[in-house]
Structure 1
Amino acid sequence: MKAFAELLERLVYTRSRNAKLKLIADYLVETPDPDRGWALAALTGELDFRSVKPGLIKALVEERVDPVLFRMSRNFVGDMAETVSLIWEPLPGAEPEMRDVRLAEVVERLQALSRTDAPAVMTAYLDQMTPTERFALIKLATGALRIGVSARLAKTAFAQAFDLDTDDVEEVWHGIDAPYPTLFAWGEGRISQPTHEDIPVFRPFMLAHPLEDGRVDLADYVAEWKWDGIRVQLNHVRGETKLFSRTGDDVTGSFPDVAEAFTEHGVIDGELLVQGDVQGGKAASFNALQQRLGRKTVSKKMLKEAPAFVRVYDILFDGAEDLRALPWHERRQRLEAFVDRLPADRFDLSEVVDADHFDHLAEIREGTRSAAIEGLMLKRRNSPYVAGRKTGLWYKWKRDPLLADCVMMYAQRGSGRRSSYYSDYTFGCWTEDGELLPVGKAYSGITDEELRMLDKFVRQNSVARFGPVREVEKTMVLEIAFDSIHASKRHKSGVAMRFPRIHRIRTDKPAAEADRIEALERLIS
């Protein structure tokens, strides 16, 4: 545990990407199994301890330290793990153990913990560890590392440590479970590389550049709708099916209805959606899909009320045949034949949008306001399927955002470098009776100067406090940009925005002239 704690501490204070890569690579080479595997799983966000959540840590520290002092310290420091690691007061006689507890021992114990036993076990660990080890323990247990290391960077460090290609590592990564003994055996040359013939492995997605103030020739490009779901890759081999998200996360457990329906040997790329009855197809809005995201298990009721399906975009493998080097138009022919073999209630083919010329396509794009459609995808007809974003091959052409003038109601401090500012804002619109109800929350879209201005407004115009949240005078109007809006039973206003962000600060507009909820309801599609 000591070595892992020192690694996290050094990563926190290291700014250089190359230096971070070397720190992780050196650790992976020097540390024995399975500790290095569990460390890699922590860095890539693959660990989840159900019995230990931030609320538990907060409750434990408030039993040892004055709650007001802890909250003030937390607000000043900006990171709960760092605050607890420094402010924790061990019981008299509870000195840090001389024995270095292995990371694997800690992980395995946390995995086996019940909610009943978790408080006592975490308390004992916190009493026996040094501040540096406490910091690492809390980061590990809660899964909120926030140390400037992405999953991609950690995988790149692994590849550098063992002189492997990062894309090759990405391909086999999600077919191997932590603590990755097969992965390290391959890295050290003790076995050959695992292949798609053995396990349903993840392949990096082909991504698109935004189309910014440009045009394309429709003789060279084809247009498809850009659906508002989550991008998934389905892989079936040797009787096993896996669903991977765009980041390579295994989401099979959240969508067993789709996984069970995909039994054709091959790999396809598409958009995961929930069935509905809206314009543009049978796809419901993202709000419907969101009810199923992140769930380890899905109830029969949810499977019935929100059945999932995949709108298929592309094909990577047909059986064992790798089709990625073929041009798009040839892959499309193979894809059409492949989709015909799949159950129609769980899979359909992405529609090609017909347009006479680019201006005609622009009219079609602006004229479609389905809640399930984000815009258009433009794909070069002769493009191979290549990992990442390659200039000139695929473009995404999103619709212009919707706009609404809303009134700031509440504010909360941010995290990281924004922890000293009130940077997260809840805003609302008026009812017919003159009541202001929340319709969304946003923290992005403003400059540092605008952030300081809004922070000053919050501090000078607070009227009440609710824990970390401040209620403010209802005088600040924010112009909010959002992609779409949906009916929502979970919100008192009855509506929920999709991807809200601050577009402008309307100091010129009186709060009474902000938009009404009925205006937002008319935008629901």
Structure 2
Amino acid sequence: MKAFADLLDALVLQPSRNGKLRLLVDHFAAVPDPERGLALAAITGDLDIQSVKPAMLRELVTTRMDPVLFGYSYDYVGDLAETIALVWPSAETGESGAADAPSLEDIVAKLNAASRQDGVALIETWLDRLDSSGRFALLKLVTGGLRMGVSSRLAKQALADFGGHDVAEIEELWHGLQPPYESLFCWLEGRGDKPVSAARAPFRPVMLSQPLEAPDYGLIVPDAYAAEWKWDGIRVQASAESGTRRLYSRTGDDISRAFPDLVDFMQFDGTLDGELLVAVSDDKGGAPKIVGRNERPDDIVAGSFSDLQQRLNRKTVSAAMLKRYPVFLRCYDLLIDAGDDIRALPFGERRKRLAAFVAKLEPTRFDLSPLVDFANFDALAARRGAPPHPVIEGVMLKRWDSAYVPGRPKGPWFKWKKDPHLIDAVLMYAQRGHGKRSSYYSDYTFGVWAGAFDDLELVPVGKAYFGFTDEELKTLDKYVRDNTIERFGPVRSVRAEPDHGLVIEVAFEGLARSNRHKSGVAMRFPRVSRLRWDKPASEADRIETLQAMLDD
């Protein structure tokens, strides 16, 4: 357990991606099985401990300290595991430290065998025996919310570095492996054969694109590149084999349970790459509406990204949600065709097979992403600037002769997104961040002006928590503290008036109508573009500016 606790402490304090990779590789090299495999499973979210839940931990800690004091502490720290680890009173004089610490293997085994009542009792015993770092690691382990800045993808890259293999090999094996991954480490250390993935319908590492920049404009000619619309949904992979059906995110996470209305129609043998979109319902049982368009007859009508957000990050989906926000797959590529791996074929050939493949599928759940005809680069630029659908955020460019290669190679595929929208908004509220930002007000709600010019009011239009430097964060935090007018738990209301307020230039990718927001609009990917210390708050944009963008 001490090695796991030390690893988490080091990851929290390491801001560099390469630094985190080195820490993980060193841990894999120094720690034996099964401890290193269990640590890996905890980091990738593949440990599911059912005997302890966060609400049980909050109830437990209030048996050791005043609930109001804990509430204040939790509000300040912003993280449940970190708060309990810091405030937990040791049963003995001083902390017992690592000498009496249980092993990670022992903790996982006992918790998996425990009831919920026994699980809480075990946690209480271990909290009394561990030091603050050990307590933090234990609580992160059982709550599953590590937030160490290590994604599942980064952990797989660390495995690849550790064994001297390509990360694509790890990704294709991953869903056929189980913690603590002893056969995987055996292969990575050269002590055994490569594991044979037992998973049906496995994930295949995705091919990604590079942003198109001015030096490469001359490459884009119709004979060399195909163009298609870049749809504003989420990139997914639909894989079906021998009756097993799985829907994966672009990073290889299995998201099948969240989208049963698509998985139920994956009655094929193969692997599709495409964009998951929410469809406009035809109001007859929730089936997506289909209409003809110039690009291709019988296209499914796509809803906005704000509609899709209603379906994201849900473990279970109600029948009402399925009916109101049905999803479908707009297909970009075909990787496996009836057991035939065609990733090495040129894109032009894969595209022909994709068209034939999609034509056999349920038309309300799968359609073919249309190609964009263009005579030259200028003509393509004009089409990019006036796309035929509001859910389009640019164009994709793919060499006709390109194989499907995992990763982000330079040249075969480009993305050419629309220029972001910019508005000037006024800072209204600020909230404490998490992790290393827990001491700063780093999440900012901003608004624009509405009402008559002699009776202005701010209406919130979005929230952003990135786009600024560490130095700017410190300056923003001080501004929030100096200009607070009200407090609501971890949130502060900031003075914002026509003659006093901080103007923030906000960049965002798109705008949609929203009944959930007072302003009537919802932003797509808002972020801080720059701080306009020079601009009076009265000169920030009005809600009519955003409404005009909707009309466009």
Q: Distance in 2 between matches of 1:149 and 1:190?
A: 28
1:116-515 residue pairs with structure 2 within 5 A?
122-162=123-163, 164-180=165-181, 183-184=184-185, 192-195=194-197, 199-213=200-214, 214-215=216-217, 216-276=220-280, 282-368=301-387, 370-432=389-451, 434-474=456-496, 475-515=501-541
Q: Distance in 2 between matches of 1:507 and 1:130?
A: 46
The one-letter code of the counterpart of 2:465 is Y
**Is the Cα contact below 8 Å between 2:175 and 2:197 reproduced in 1?**
no
**Is the Cα contact below 8 Å between 1:175 and 1:202 reproduced in 2?**
no
The one-letter code of the counterpart of 1:240 is T
Corresponding residue of 1:4 = 4
Q: Distance in 2 between matches of 1:206 and 1:395?
A: 11
1:49-88 residue pairs with structure 2 within 5 A?
57=57, 60-61=60-61, 64-65=64-65, 81-88=81-88
Q: Which moved more, 1:306-315 or 1:451-460?
A: 451-460
SS of match in other structure, 2:301: strand
Q: Which moved more, 1:27-36 or 1:455-464?
A: 27-36
Q: Distance in 2 between matches of 1:18 and 1:452?
A: 25
Q: Distance in 2 between matches of 1:176 and 1:282?
A: 39
Call closer, same or farther: CA 1:344–1:182 in 2, change over 3 Å: farther
Q: Distance in 2 between matches of 1:370 and 1:245?
A: 24
Q: Distance in 2 between matches of 1:99 and 1:507?
A: 55
SS of match in other structure, 1:389: coil
Alpha-carbon displacement from aligned partner over 1:1-46 (angstroms, at most 9, x marks no partner):
3342233334445677677556544654665655443321112233
The one-letter code of the counterpart of 2:312 is L
Call closer, same or farther: CA 1:164–1:481 in 2, change over 3 Å: closer
Query: In the TM superposition, what is the alpha-carbon distance from 1:444 to its structure 2 partner?
Result: 1.9
SS of match in other structure, 2:279: strand
**Is the Cα contact below 8 Å between 2:503 and 2:531 reproduced in 1?**
yes
The one-letter code of the counterpart of 1:349 is L
Alpha-carbon displacement from aligned partner over 1:466-498 (angstroms, at most 9, x marks no partner):
222211110122121111122223323332211
Q: Which moved more, 1:178-187 or 1:327-336?
A: 178-187
The one-letter code of the counterpart of 2:483 is N
Call closer, same or farther: CA 1:114–1:459 in 2, change over 3 Å: farther
**TM, length-normalised to structure 1:** 0.88
Q: Which moved more, 1:59-68 or 1:213-222?
A: 59-68
**Is the Cα contact below 8 Å between 2:508 and 2:523 reproduced in 1?**
yes
Query: In the TM superposition, what is the alpha-carbon distance from 1:435 to its structure 2 partner?
Result: 3.0
Q: Which moved more, 1:363-372 or 1:256-265?
A: 363-372
SS of match in other structure, 1:289: helix
Q: Which moved more, 1:262-271 or 1:427-436?
A: 427-436
Query: In the TM superposition, what is the alpha-carbon distance from 1:514 to its structure 2 partner?
Result: 2.6
Call closer, same or farther: CA 1:192–1:423 in 2, change over 3 Å: closer
**Is the Cα contact below 8 Å between 1:175 and 1:200 reproduced in 2?**
no
Alpha-carbon displacement from aligned partner over 1:352-387 (angstroms, at most 9, x marks no partner):
011222111111111127431111111111111101
SS of match in other structure, 2:247: strand
Q: Distance in 2 between matches of 1:17 and 1:366?
A: 36
SS of match in other structure, 1:283: coil
**Is the Cα contact below 8 Å between 1:237 and 1:266 reproduced in 2?**
yes
Q: Which moved more, 1:366-375 or 1:327-336?
A: 366-375
**Is the Cα contact below 8 Å between 2:100 and 2:130 reproduced in 1?**
no
The number of aligned residues is 524
Which sections of structure 1, spanning at least 5 residues, go unmatched?
A: none
**Is the Cα contact below 8 Å between 1:75 and 1:419 reproduced in 2?**
no
Alpha-carbon displacement from aligned partner over 1:42-88 (angstroms, at most 9, x marks no partner):
12233455775666656654654567876887788786644542332
Identity of aligned residues (%): 53
Alpha-carbon displacement from aligned partner over 1:89-121 (angstroms, at most 9, x marks no partner):
134699859764342443356567787777655
**TM, length-normalised to structure 2:** 0.84
Alpha-carbon displacement from aligned partner over 1:121-161 (angstroms, at most 9, x marks no partner):
54443223222210111222233323343323322333454
Query: In the TM superposition, what is the alpha-carbon distance from 1:300 to its structure 2 partner?
Result: 1.7
Q: Distance in 1 between matches of 2:118 and 2:449?
A: 48
The one-letter code of the counterpart of 2:524 is R
Q: Distance in 2 between matches of 1:5 and 1:385?
A: 40
Q: Distance in 1 between matches of 2:77 and 2:325?
A: 42
Call closer, same or farther: CA 1:91–1:383 in 2, change over 3 Å: same
Alpha-carbon displacement from aligned partner over 1:204-235 (angstroms, at most 9, x marks no partner):
11001111234122331111111111111111
SS of match in other structure, 1:330: helix
SS of match in other structure, 1:156: helix
